[in-house]
Structure 1
């Protein structure tokens, strides 16, 4: 883990243009800090900016003012050519899985390693290790359409952790799952955090936030504030 493995937003502002041409301020002078190996939920209504904050951290969007920092990378200093390097050091999990439909579970995970230039032996060892961590070694040859929603999300998590990232950004990871499966996926993510991984999870599932309490950051009117999960 890099010694500066922290997450920082420093006075970040971002405005989107709505389809009708009207500007909408999504984030307004937002600052937050997460230490290495910590965990936090990011909550707020749809459109409040949860996904935007995560996208800033993996440098998919950039703030108009202020800076986003993750590990050794800063939004105001990063070279466009270094963005792929950043994304190899972090793990990202999406609500809609984003698996390649024509590849097996094994190949979906292996692909994330192959693009880094890892050796064939290293790809095999790390892919099987990641699938084992999510409990899907026995379904490594199954294609996404042969897997349940929960299993597809497990493959997506395996893909995200195959590069042994120090941080995992999860964007509504249980949003498409029923409550029982959502609990299983949530526990899996918490287990990864307990092993030392920094975890920032955007979610609208207050049931899980209350059941598995941790630091909770709420986006309210473009601001981020700490809230007590028991009050949700």
Structure 2
């Protein structure tokens, strides 16, 4: 039996560590290119992201950053290893449950992917109708999401009537409307000029600071240095943490 002195010398047990929101463990993954060739992205990917944390994925175009994001919303499954987002793990989540996972997430793409024949409001509202939200609640939440990105005055505008920055703000509003725990941004400023890119980046950082986790894939090192956060470089199929100031 331990003596009183032994017990006194032992370190006090702290509070249990919170489980990460995102875990990628020893993952192998690849994709088939347009010519039909198999491209291996990684054979030993490892990543954790805490609730409310912000991080960048960096690397040149074609290095596999988008594939990593697709692993998280389960558009791609790993060839080996494990991916987990909240309670959803790649080895146990069935296809019928993937929509439930995606309701935890907001996804913003480089090419906007707005419905061209619908207004900004209708594009945001569509994301709610698809999950069965009641009409009265849809209006309230969609308008609130547009207001949060400074786009209330453009609610009736269609994508062709909006600037690139406004279209990306509409995309952010659409991603926000389900109150996601995690925002995945795939080169969200890639089609914007530097001034507008800064505006969109400031918006994403502000939303992160309100409690949302943010994982952003980018090859724009200027933005990473201007808005520093944890930075992970995809190097020879592995994620390596780097100092943003060294870029």
**TM-score after normalising by structure 1:** 0.96
Which residue in 1 is equivalent to 2:26? Answer: 11
C-alpha distance in 2 between matches for 1:153 and 1:15: 28
3-state SS, counterpart of residue 77 of structure 1: coil
Which residues of 2 match residues 55-204 of structure 1 at below 5 A?
55-204=70-219
Q: What RMSD, in angstroms, separates the aligned Cα atoms of the two structures?
A: 1.2
3-state SS, counterpart of residue 103 of structure 2: helix
Which residue in 2 is equivalent to 1:30? Answer: 45
Q: Which runs of 5+ in 1 are unaligned?
A: none
Contact 1:50 1:219 in 2 (8 A): yes
C-alpha distance in 2 between matches for 1:187 and 1:21: 39
Which residue in 2 is equivalent to 1:218? Answer: 233
Which residue in 2 is equivalent to 1:46? Answer: 61
**TM-score after normalising by structure 2:** 0.90
C-alpha distance in 2 between matches for 1:164 and 1:119: 16
C-alpha distance in 2 between matches for 1:91 and 1:27: 24
3-state SS, counterpart of residue 146 of structure 2: helix
Which residue in 1 is equivalent to 2:10? Answer: none
C-alpha distance in 1 between matches for 2:202 and 2:34: 38
C-alpha distance in 2 between matches for 1:105 and 1:113: 13
Pick which of 13-22 and 113-122 moved more.
13-22
Contact 2:25 2:81 in 1 (8 A): yes
1:47 positional shift = 1.3
Q: Which has the larger radius of gyration?
A: 2
1:22 positional shift = 4.4
Q: How many residues align?
A: 230
1:50 positional shift = 0.3
Distance 1:139 1:23, change over 3 A: closer
C-alpha distance in 2 between matches for 1:20 and 1:144: 32
Task: Give a deviation string over 1:6-33, Cα, whole Å, max 9, x none.
Answer: 1110000013344555433211211110
Contact 1:216 1:226 in 2 (8 A): yes
Which residue in 2 is equivalent to 1:206? Answer: 221
C-alpha distance in 2 between matches for 1:154 and 1:107: 14
C-alpha distance in 2 between matches for 1:24 and 1:103: 37
C-alpha distance in 1 between matches for 2:34 and 2:119: 38
Which residue in 1 is equivalent to 2:5? Answer: none
Task: Give a deviation string over 1:125-180, Cα, whole Å, max 9, x none.
Answer: 10000000000101100000000000000000000000011110000000000000
